Each structure stands twice: as structure tokens, then as C-alpha cells.
Amino acid sequence: MGANHEENSLRYRRAQSVTTAEEITEKEKRARRSQFDRPCHKPRDSLFSWTSEFTNFTGLVNWGFLMLTIGGLRLCLENFLKYGIRVNPFEWIIVLTGYNEGKNYQYPSIILLMYSVVPAVISLLIEKAIAADLFTQKLGVTLQIINLLTEISLPVIVLNFSNQEFSFVGITTVCMIYLVIFLKLWSYCQTNHWCRNGTRTKKSKSLRRQSLSAPNSKNSDHEKTDDMMGIVKYPDNLNLRDLLYFLLAPTLCYELNFPRTTRIRKRFLIKRIVEVIFGMNLILALFQQWMIPSVKNAVDPFSQMDVVRITERLLKLAVPNHLIWLCFFYLSFHSFLNLMGELLHFADRNFYNDWWNSRNIAVFWSTWNMPVHLWAVRHVYIPITEMGYGKGLAGIVVFFISAFFHEYLVSVPLQMFRVWAFLGMMAQPPLSVISKFVERKLGVRWGNIIVWSSLILGQPLAIMMYYHDYAIAHYTPK
């Protein structure tokens, strides 16, 4: 008996060896706690281990922001000492207003911006003609396609065949506005096409039911409810007021009845106005003081194909470029779109999702720009799959269209055709496959690192290549 008691004491004195902390059973825990040695240890993982489930890193986040602030201040002082103060708001006013464009103060960019309403009105007139049976549907669709292609091609035609001088900022703004109107009119025409077909199908079914039996009371009650709630139906939506509201609304997808808010929040509106004014000045100052010198200094390394210096320039340019991109994202998708939504009582404010947590490239492209993502899914991806084609082909078509318009926004203002933006976008599907593989093999964090790496390094590389080609074409002595 004594020997057995001594054996048991020895057994309890030390816990059985285990491979992981979770394998210690409750029985062993109770046995250890019943001893007189006042145990203070329990199965626990280190806080930096992923299995610890510890998430409160607020202090480290504060430390990171403090280090970034100190590093940013040092870079600012270095920039001021090296280049002096380059910020000049009056230069931006001249460029943005087009004061230096053309001769005799014709301001070609402003004229093109004013003309951008004309294709929208033409689209409305064509839709009204189709609804009134003045045009056949086939002829109307053909005219809409011609109108859309003419609208998106107009900046290219004017820029290349006119003797007017455009500032880079002016023609870039024109191309951006014309592209937005193109996407909106595409949605406008396609949505009205759906409504037209749906209305005709509904009428034909209703006539068949009436010829066979009494009118359906449920449909009549449903129509009365819609009328009481003020629901707009096709073709009552075909008016100038409805079209102008859609052109100004912070969305690319047309609907006959947008969700509306009941009032304008004055405090919210004032905050967004202040953010837009401050954000625009901050971006322009960063671009003028920090971005332009870094880009100019990258020309020689690219010309000499010096890999080490190119890498150094790329890393140096990545910081200001990424900072400006983040400021531009907040200014555009939060401040400006919320400002427009508040003024227009537009209730759907889902302009972005948590793209910063994207676990792979595909998730990033479906979360960071929700207006474009919804447009692509609604008007390209789903129609292609409904025609019987596969999802893979539909996704490639979406990226091809996106790549084409990215190149449009760069090559047209620069007046030189390059494919760097196009190739960058077409590289996203294979990069998405790689990021998904990394996510699956190494975990979500590494997939997210791939996303951030592509954002931080990919954009400045494209900017350096475009500026190099532009400088060689325009500033190299012949």
C-alpha cells in the first residue's frame, strides 16, 4: 500500500508530457490543482502565436502610427531641404481651369465637358422613340450603340484632329467624365431594354389571361399599391429630370426607383465638404512637392536599364504614390460620393467594402470600388453567363473591358499609345490565381500581403514606365 501511495504521489508530481497544450485533459488539470504545490501554470500559447486568439494589438498599432509619423516627418524635411518648397496653389488653379489651353481663351476642355450632356440627351430621345414605336427595337439598339461609341471616341477625335492645345489635367478630366457617362448610358440603355421586354411580356400574358377568364384581381391590387407608393414604371421614367438625376447620382447602375433618404444631414454634409476641400489641396500639394521630383529622377535609371537604381527609385516612389492613392481613395469614395449622395438624397452609400482585409486579388477587385464592381457584374458578367458562357470567360471579359478603359484614361491624355496599364490589368487574373494559392497554402495573412504588395509596388512601376516613355518622346533632343 505504501509503495502504491508513493507511486501515485510521484505520478501527480509531474504532468504527463504532451505535444500540444490542448491535449492536456480536464482530469489532469483537476489532479494538478488538488496538490499542495500551489500550481500557477496552465496551458497557454504565446500572444504572438496565431493559435493564441489574442487580438488586442492597440499599443502596437499606436507604435506603428508613431513610427510612420516620425518617418514621414523626416522624409518631408529631406524633401524640403533637397527641392525647396514647390507647392504653388496658383499653378494648380491655372492648370485645373484650363487657362493655359488653346489660343484666344477658347478653353477646349471646358467646351468638351459642356458638350458631354448632348450624348445623354440623344440617348433619352432614342429611348422615347423606341417606347413610342417610332423606331423598331433593332434600329433603336443600333442607334444607341453608335451614340455610345461616338461619345467615348469624341475626346480621342478632338485631341488628335484639332489644333487646340489641351493641358494634361484638362484632357484627363474630360476622359474621366466621358468614361463615367459612357458607363452610365450603357446601364441606362440596357435597363430600359429589360423594362421594355418585361412590360411587353407582362402585357401579352395579361391579354391571354383576360381572353380565358376574368381579370386577375391580385395584379390589379399590386398595381394600385405601386401607384400609392409612387413607384415609377416604364416608360414614365423616360424624362429629362430622371436622366439628369441619374447622371449626377453616385452610381453607375440605373434603376427606375432609387432608394431615397428623407432629409439632408447638415452636420454630415459640412464634414464631407471640409474633407473634399482639404483632401484636394493635400493631394495636389503631395503631388507637386513629392511625386513630381521622384518621377523625374527615375528617367535616367530606366534609360540606362540600371536594375539597382531602378529598384531604388521604385521603392522611393512607392511611398508618396501609395500615400496619394490612399488619400485619393478616401477623397473620392468616401468624401465626394457621400457628399453627392447626401445632396441628392441617395440612400445606397455602399461605395466600398473592407478591401484592406482582402485575402486575395480577386476579393480586392470585388470590394474596393463597388460602383464599378456592381456595374461590371450587372451589365457584363451576368448577361454573358445568361447567354450560356462560362464564368471564367465572363470574368476575363470583365477584366479586358477594365484594362481597355484603364489604358484609355492614360494613353489618350498622354497622346501616346502604350500598353502598360492594359497589361497591368490583364495580369490581375493570373496574379489572382497566385494569391489564392498563397492564401490556401500559407494562410489568409500571406494572401493579404500579396494584395498590399501589388498595390504598393505595381502602381509606381507603371507610372515610372509611362513617364519614361513620355519624357523620351517629348523632351529628348532630336
Give the residue numbers annotated as catalytic, written as ranges: 406
Three-state SS at 257:
coil
The residues with which 260 forms a beta bridge, in sequence order, are: 346
| CA distance linking residue 140 with residue 131, whole number of Å | 10
Q: Please say whether the beta carbons of 175 and 413 come within 8 A.
A: yes
Question: Quick count: other Cβ atoms within 10 Å of Cβ 82?
Answer: 8
Cβ neighbours around 109 below 10 Å, total:
25
Radius of gyration of the chain (CA): 31
**146-154 long-range CB contacts below 8 Å, 24 or more apart?**
147/119, 147/122, 147/123, 147/185, 148/119, 148/123, 148/182, 148/185, 148/186, 148/189, 150/119, 151/116, 151/119, 151/178, 151/181, 151/182, 151/185, 152/178, 152/179, 152/182, 152/408, 154/112, 154/115, 154/178
What are the Cα distances from residue 411, in Å, to 179, 328, 419?
14, 21, 8
Question: CA–CA separation, 301 vs 311, rounded Å?
Answer: 9
> Distance between CA 270 and CA 339 in Å, rounded?
9
Closest CA to 279 of 352, 334, 350, 340: 334
Helix (H) or strand (E) holding 134: none
Q: Count CB neighbours of 18 within 10 A.
A: 12
Distance of alpha carbon 414 from alpha carbon 43, whole angstroms: 63
CA distances from 186 to 18, 192, 198, 281, 398 (A): 65, 10, 18, 33, 14
How far, rounded to the nearest angstrom, does the alpha carbon of residue 250 sit from its chain's CA centroid? 13
Burial 241-266 (b: 16+ CB within 10 A, else e): ebbeebbebbbbbbebebeeeeeeee
Q: Going along 180-294, which residue ranges are E strands?
A: none
3-state secondary structure of 346: strand
